[in-house]
Amino acid sequence: MSWPGAAAVANGEIRSDGGDGPPVVVKLGGARAVDPAGAVGDVAHLVANGRDVVVVHGGSTAVDDLLADLGKEAEYVETPSGVTGRFTDAETMEAFTMALAGQVNTDLVTAMKNAGVDAVGLSGVDGGLLTGPRKSAVRVVEDGKKKIKRGDHSGTPKAVNDGLLTTLLADGYTPVVSPPMFGMESENEGTPVNTDADRAAAAVAGALGAELVILTDVAGVYADPDDPDTLIESVATGAEYDALADAAEGFMTRKVMAATEALESGATAVTVADANVRDPIVAALDGTGTRIERSAVVEESAADAAADAEVDG
């Protein structure tokens, strides 16, 4: 989908100029196979044309590399629902903070600055940007048995300081957001904890009423993960969403989960797309990848009522 009036000729091609429409939240994956160069150029393009952009990034490869340098092996666990995630003990949490909020965030902000973007690096702890309860124990499956594994430092954002983001955007800055988040351990105290970057981006997109673009190392969600010709291009109904959820496997399960959370909390649409194509963000906004409309998650009657209220107001 292109927003009205959002097409401009650039280098002889039609490109979305990004000037109209809601903010864009871009989730940039941290896997080794994801090249951020195209996304950085697109952020510069969109910002130059008046679109508000927030970048949220991961950095799993950087964390694993640092752990290896420290002589510690990364530990991944499987939940009873079949989702695989990092187990973050105290030592891993230190490496996680150094790698993501330190190296990866600084490198990405530097790349944005060199592209002409007035970027500001933030962790989820800064200003209480991403806040939620710390999860110190997780349910896992080991050798076919369900167990409780303790000593984890993780959490899921339950609150977003959107005022901080809107203030920065209004002043012309582009926030570049990294985990960790602020994990509450009591009513008044918290600590930095690991949080999934896809779900962090979903929380930000929902809070801002933004369009979320999740960039990864594949073209989108496939009906058959082994067949690249089965890309699911559009998801607009509940039945289409059910088919999408059934098709998602492995790391894509978490991305579909994040898309669902974003749409339920106020995002306008979510697109899962390839980070390594030319103009990846602009291409996603113009319809490449797997686009999930809010109508696929929010009941049509509720969506219609919200639209009526907006018109009446």
Global pTM exceeds 0.75:
yes
Within 10 A of 34 (CB to CB), how many other CB atoms are there? 20
15 annotated binding-site participant: no
161 annotated binding-site participant: no
User: pLDDT truncated to tens, each residue of the chain (313 aa)?
Assistant: 222 223 332 333 334 555 568 999 999 987 777 788 999 999 999 999 999 999 999 998 899 999 999 999 888 888 887 778 889 999 999 999 999 999 999 999 999 999 999 999 999 999 999 999 999 988 999 888 899 999 999 999 999 999 999 999 999 999 999 999 999 998 889 999 999 999 999 999 999 999 999 999 999 999 998 898 999 999 999 999 999 999 998 889 999 999 999 999 999 999 999 999 999 999 999 999 999 999 999 864 444 444 444 444 3
Q: 258: part of which helix (H) or strand (E)? A: helix 251-264
Query: Rounded to an integer, what distance in angstroms lies between the CA atom of residue 263 and that of residue 260?
Result: 5
Q: Token pair 């092996």 is at which residue?
A: 73
Query: Rounded to an integer, what distance in angstroms lies between the CA atom of residue 251 and that of residue 95?
Result: 22
The amino acid sitting at 120 is V
Distances (CA, A) of 214 to 35, 116, 141, 211, 303: 14, 23, 28, 10, 23
The amino acid sitting at 305 is A
